[in-house]
Amino acid sequence: MALHTPCSCSLQKEATCPICLEYFTEPVTLECGHYFCRACISQCWEGSDIDISCPQCRQTVQQRNLRPNRQLANMVEIAKTEFTGSKGKRRGRGLNPFQTQLPPVN
């Protein structure tokens, strides 16, 4: 099992979509430089025809200008191999690295 060092946590964070909090799937880059899964950003913008903005920085962007990011996709595949078990789930207690396990409610 891989050790969770600050570097490995940073790699997991960079390989994670800020919308779905899972590893990127078909990562795309917006004009502002932020990355999202293609499906996540498309769903986020669904039904909007004007004033489409980045969910992170709120900069207005062109919806049709989604650039595939193959380099990030390759990095995500490396992270998946390094940090997931045989079923593709994150190792550990099954928590997203940005989530905290809460104590049981009495």
Question: Residue 72: which H helix or E strand, with range?
Answer: helix 70-83
SS3 28: strand
Query: Can you give the pLDDT at residue 85?
Result: 56
Query: Can you give the pLDDT at residue 86?
Result: 39
Query: Can you give the pLDDT at residue 17?
Result: 95
**35-37: strand order across its sheet:** 35-37, 27-29, 67-68
For the chain, the structural domain boundaries read 10-83
Give me the percent of the chain exceeding a pLDDT of 90: 40
CA distance 106 to 99: 21
The CATH homologous superfamily to which domain 10-83 belongs is: Zinc/RING finger domain, C3HC4 (zinc finger) (3.30.40.10)
pLDDT tens sequence across 38-84: 999 999 988 877 778 999 999 998 777 889 999 999 989 988 888 77
What radius of gyration do the chain's Cα atoms show? 16
Whether 26 has a pLDDT exceeding 60, the answer reads yes
Query: Can you give the pLDDT at residue 93?
Result: 38
Beta bridge partners of 60: 53
